[in-house]
Structure 1
């Protein structure tokens, strides 16, 4: 059985730190970040609670490959990717929470 997946980018309120992640359940994963579910994790330490970008894939393997690709990029390239989907870098939680 194949399951889809998503990649996403979280940031802090100052938009100075980026975290790129992959998940099979974007809604619940963003909730975990917002609630600091994993104490001591990177996103907990840097207060990355704002989802500013995501992409969906039909297979989790595709999402994992895309996450690895984006993680290798310089900050400037990540910034451009985010700006294409979300020019104001707003929290996309309102889109995600209704899934």
Structure 2
């Protein structure tokens, strides 16, 4: 039984290259992580409601940059950590995330 329309494709994402032959992928496209600036922008977009930068929250910039460094360019990590901090605009909450083992 076919479930997809003719010409449909499935995209599988993984950081483990051993998955490629396991899913019988026709080809693999290794991706690089985001640049630090792009990762910081993505983090800020999810941490703050109406901006992609720290213009309205300069007191959080330094700790935000250190949090983003822990993300190592991984967009999902930046998005998740930024989202966790969306309602937390105090320095202590951000430091707690920075020091956590997440």
Please give the range of the TM-score, normalised by the shorter of the 2 chains: 0.3 to 0.5
The answer to which structure, 1 or 2, has the higher relative contact order (CA under 8 A, 6+ apart) is 1
Q: Which has the higher strand share?
A: 1
**TM-score normalised by length of structure 1:** 0.32
- Rg: which structure is higher? 2
Query: Normalising to structure 2: TM-score of the pair?
Result: 0.32
